[in-house]
């Protein structure tokens, strides 16, 4: 265990927090596209309006944990993923600004709403595509990217992972919405959530099967110590998906828990992250860039581990406080197109 | 040729996205301080005018903050996207500093902004004040860390270079690098001043229109009072930025911003049209003797040295440095004049009745932002051709992208940012036209998402 391995815990924390929190945020954005009712759309906007920038903070932290801790990864992967990441930035800009303006343009309320939904969809897709482009391998020469602008596509593999990411985020969004909403909105969440479970299962299998042909994926299969991690991850993933399918009740009877889909989704996340880490670590940019070679010098790692480590608990505390302040169900009084 | 194109396109994209971004912090940092003042005064005095001001400026703050967030994320990624070599070489220092900015400042702002904007009615007054203070602390810390990073690039210290990568040897020297202190104060003051003109101008517009008079008077009075204090101090600090840091640590920038190619000019250039390639001015307007006088030699014999003494490939471009400096400086002169007129009118009891003056203050709305832009153009173009001064050339730091890809994204940025700027101006203008309201105050303001969700009692599970 080296300092750079310790730092990777922070990278993992930022990644997990981001895909869980902004995952539901972007997922709810996609869900707004499925419902034309202004009242229900508004409920969904309200769910994320107060926290979207807080959720996106984890994306910035993810980018920075990589840059500060393993600058070689940033130096190679970001130029290599130029197009999907720039497109993601445009999409995040569009949805953030649209969300702020949604209630202020009487004549174009629907337009801002659609922009918010499309921005969320494109951002989710681009993140999945960038992830697929990364894990399928990015050619590097020394410490510089040595491919073209479309290398990341890997003959369409990035499209598969992009769609899978959309399914994952829609699942997260549905689970959160199911937890916070009642009535028709909750039913919409349940229906969308079930579709997302099926799509995510298909996407995961496809991503798995196509990974090897897509590029020079470096696995570490010879290490038997990793076997429990893979099996544990696979069990969590499939169990979580099955649990999610069961717990989204299209007709809530009051007997089931409306927290169950959230728990199921978190299980899915846990399983997926375990599998990805178990397969790849310590490789960060396949085929050749591993953590220990890409890491910052000790002086930097020590400084950020102490500095960021001290602040993270405070951040988690006040973000939790925010969720506590905005706790409870959305009021159903605006339902049914009152706007 | 292709590399030169790539470098130019990448630099233009950075310049555009950074200039767009700085527009919003330049206003929101100071506005957050103003929000603290308004809410603290409301809690002290129970005077509802303060609460109205708080709610009104909070709306304008909210949209500016959102645009600052999304345009800031762009910059975070561009460090690696367009400047991959830079990301690799300085990640152990600049990456670490910006990571500290994210955890100490950015999360703090974003975490408490939700409470500030949507929390009224859900949290008590003390918590509201606390949230507002935390947002302000976040914006201020953000300025601090960004200035640490940028100042380190201007005057790197506390590092060694191992295999082309910068490694910190002394973090105190990295953070408190030679130019950090004075540049941080200069930027923070600039942000406060920019927001103060913005608030003063909008308040003065209500005086011109004879609307919301209590709020307008208080806004004009507070901000012009603060400006009369801050602007002279800022001019003094700016003088020290030039004298203690630019001419000492970045002499080439100092030479370029004075507009001379050859040694021997004892005058001060007011306008120049430089020809960088031929190393001469096609045209210039020079006031004799003044250059020597500025150098504190009243006899008129001290000449300002010229840029030709710097090797050609290490010369910053004269045009942006010269005019960046002059735009900033002349803006400050105008600010000082208007702030002093404000003092004079106040002493004669005419601050609220001199309508010509109110119109003048309305025209001052963008001046702080313009001066901030100009100052950053000066600082950033004056550092060229270096990214890390004296150590890493900009041309060596650029990502090996296809120029066509960068051109595509640059054009898209131009279009998207023009649309965003238009939307921002339209929205702020609309909020200002609606005004802070004159009717009875609601128990809790309608936040920008209306109506806000109201929690049920603990949900039964």
pLDDT band with cut points at 50, 70 and 90 for residue A139: confident
A144-195 pLDDT tens trace: 888 888 888 888 899 999 999 999 999 999 999 999 888 888 889 999 999 9
pLDDT in the model for residue A218: 53
Answer whether A78 sits within 8 Å of B112, measured CB to CB.
no
Write out the DSSP string of A23-79: HHHHHHHHHHTT---HHHHHHHHHHHHTTHHHHHHHHHHHHHHHHHH-HHHHHHHHH
Between A326 and B131, name the one with better pLDDT: B131
Answer whether B99 sits within 8 Å of A45, measured CB to CB.
no
pTM: 0.89
pLDDT band with cut points at 50, 70 and 90 for residue A215: low
Residue B57 has pLDDT above 50, yes or no: yes
Query: How far apart are the C-alpha atoms of B387 and B380, rounded to whole Å?
Result: 9
B326-350 pLDDT tens trace: 999 999 999 999 999 999 999 999 9
Flag whether residue B407 sits within 8 Å of chain A, measured between CB atoms: no
Q: Smallest CA–CA separation between A209 and chain B, in Å?
A: 30
> What is the dihedral angle through the alpha carbons of A94, A97, A100, A102, rounded to the nearest 10 degrees?
-50
- Percent helix, strand, coil in chain B, to 5, is 70, 5, 20
Rounded to whole angstroms, what are the CA distances from B273 to A285, B280, B281?
A: 49, 9, 6
Token pair, residue B30, equals: 């100071």
Burial track A79-115 (b if 16+ CB lie within 10 A, e otherwise): bbbbbbbbbbbbbbbbbbbbbbbbbbbeeebeebbbb
Whether a cis peptide bond, with omega within 30° of 0, leads into A115 is no
Residue B444 has pLDDT above 60, yes or no: no
- Which residues of A are less than 8 Å from B115 in CB distance? 50, 322, 325
- Which residues of A are less than 8 Å from B171 in CB distance? 299, 303
- Tokens 């209590």 correspond to B214
- Which residues of B are less than 8 Å from A60 in CB distance? 72-73, 76, 102, 106
Of B113-117, B140-144, B310-314, the range with the highest mean pLDDT is B140-144
Among A330-334, B31-35, B233-237, B270-274, the range scoring the smallest mean pLDDT is A330-334
Q: Angle at CA A170, nearest 5°, toward A164 and A172?
A: 105
Range B436-441 average pLDDT: 75
Q: Phi first, then psi: what are they for B458, rounded to 5°?
A: -40, 125
pLDDT band with cut points at 50, 70 and 90 for residue B83: very high
Answer whether B399 sits within 8 Å of A312, measured CB to CB.
no
Token pair, residue A62, equals: 């993810």
- Which residues of B are less than 8 Å from A297 in CB distance? 92, 162, 165, 167-168
pLDDT band with cut points at 50, 70 and 90 for residue A126: very high
A235-268 pLDDT tens trace: 999 999 999 999 888 766 655 578 899 999 999 9
A49-100 pLDDT tens trace: 888 888 998 999 999 999 999 999 999 999 999 999 999 999 999 999 898 8
Flag whether residue A257 sits within 8 Å of chain B, measured between CB atoms: yes
Answer whether A329 sits within 8 Å of B169, measured CB to CB.
no
């Amino acid at each position: 265990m080296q300092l750079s391995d310790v730092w990777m815990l922070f990278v993992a924390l930022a990644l997990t927090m981001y895909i869980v929190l902004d995952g539901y945020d972007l997922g709810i954005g996609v869900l707004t596209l499925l419902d034309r009712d202004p009242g229900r759309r508004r409920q969904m906007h309200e769910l994320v309006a107060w926290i979207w920038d807080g959720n996106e903070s984890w994306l910035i932290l993810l980018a920075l944990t990589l840059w500060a801790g393993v600058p070689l990864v940033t130096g190679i992967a970001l130029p290599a993923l130029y197009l999907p990441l720039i497109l993601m930035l445009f999409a995040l800009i569009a949805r953030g600004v649209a969300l702020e303006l949604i209630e202020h343009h009487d004549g174009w309320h629907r337009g801002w709403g659609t922009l918010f939904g499309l921005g969320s969809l494109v951002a989710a897709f681009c993140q999945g595509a960038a992830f697929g482009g990364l894990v399928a391998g990015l050619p590097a020469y020394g410490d510089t990217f040595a491919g073209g602008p479309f290398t990341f596509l890997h003959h369409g593999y990035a499209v598969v992972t992009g769609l899978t990411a959309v399914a994952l985020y829609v699942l997260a969004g549905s689970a959160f919405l199911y937890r916070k909403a009642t009535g028709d909105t909750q039913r919409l969440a349940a229906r969308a959530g079930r579709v997302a479970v099926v799509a995510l299962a298909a996407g995961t299998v496809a991503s798995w099967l196509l990974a090897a042909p897509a590029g020079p994926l470096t696995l570490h299969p010879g290490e038997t110590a990793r076997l429990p991690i893979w099996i544990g991850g696979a069990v969590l993933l499939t169990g979580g998906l099955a649990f999610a399918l069961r717990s989204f009740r299209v007709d809530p009877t009051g007997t089931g828990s409306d927290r169950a889909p959230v728990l199921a989704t978190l299980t899915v996340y846990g399983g997926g992250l375990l599998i990805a880490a178990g397969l790849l670590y310590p490789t960060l940019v396949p085929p050749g860039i591993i953590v220990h070679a890409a890491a910052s010098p000790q002086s930097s790692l020590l400084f950020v581990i102490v500095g960021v480590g001290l602040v993270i608990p405070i951040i988690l505390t006040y973000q939790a406080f925010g969720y506590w302040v905005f706790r409870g169900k959305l009021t159903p009084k605006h339902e049914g197109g009152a706007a | 040729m292709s590399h030169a194109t790539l470098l130019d396109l990448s630099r233009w994209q950075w310049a555009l996205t950074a200039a767009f971004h700085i527009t919003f912090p330049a206003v929101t940092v100071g506005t957050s301080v103003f929000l603290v003042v308004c809410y603290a005064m409301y809690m002290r005095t129970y005077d509802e005018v303060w609460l109205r001001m708080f709610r009104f400026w909070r709306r304008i703050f909210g949209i500016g903050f959102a645009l600052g967030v999304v345009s800031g994320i762009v910059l975070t990624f561009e460090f690696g996207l367009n400047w991959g070599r830079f990301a690799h070489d300085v990640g152990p220092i600049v990456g670490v500093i910006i990571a500290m900015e994210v955890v100490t400042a950015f999360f703090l702002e974003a975490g408490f902004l939700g409470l500030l904007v949507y929390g009224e009615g859900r949290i008590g007054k003390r918590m509201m004040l606390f949230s507002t203070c935390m947002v302000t602390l976040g914006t201020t810390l953000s300025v601090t860390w960004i200035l640490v990073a940028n100042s380190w690039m201007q005057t790197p210290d506390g590092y060694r270079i191992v295999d082309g990568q910068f490694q910190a040897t002394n973090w105190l020297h990295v953070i408190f690098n030679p130019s950090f202190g004075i540049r941080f104060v200069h930027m923070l003051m600039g942000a406060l001043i920019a927001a103060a003109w913005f608030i003063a101008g909008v308040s003065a517009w209500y005086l011109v229109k004879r609307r919301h008079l209590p709020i307008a008077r208080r806004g004009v009075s507070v901000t012009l009072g603060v400006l009369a204090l801050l602007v002279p101090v800022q001019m003094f600090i700016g003088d020290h930025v030039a004298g203690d840091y630019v001419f000492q640590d970045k002499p080439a920038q100092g030479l370029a911003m004075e507009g001379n190619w050859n040694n021997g000019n004892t005058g001060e250039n007011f306008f120049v049209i430089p020809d960088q390639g031929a190393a001469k001015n096609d045209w210039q307007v020079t006031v004799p003797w003044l250059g020597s006088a500025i150098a504190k030699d009243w006899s008129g014999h001290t000449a300002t040295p010229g840029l030709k003494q710097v090797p050609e490939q290490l010369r910053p471009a004269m045009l942006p440095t010269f005019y960046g400096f002059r735009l900033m400086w002349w803006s400050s002169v105008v600010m000082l004049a208007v702030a002093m007129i404000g003092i004079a009118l106040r002493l004669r009891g005419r601050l609220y009745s001199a309508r010509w003056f109110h119109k003048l203050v309305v025209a001052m709305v963008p001046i702080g932002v313009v001066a901030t832009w100009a100052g950053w153009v000066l600082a950033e173009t004056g550092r060229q051709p270096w990214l890390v001064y004296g150590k890493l050339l900009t041309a060596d730091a650029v990502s090996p992208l296809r120029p066509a890809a960068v051109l595509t994204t640059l054009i898209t940025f131009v279009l998207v940012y023009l649309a965003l700027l238009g939307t921002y101006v339209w929205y702020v203008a609309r909020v200002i036209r609606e005004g802070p309201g004159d009717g009875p105050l609601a128990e809790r303001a309608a936040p920008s998402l209306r109506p806000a969700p109201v929690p049920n009692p603990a949900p039964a599970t």
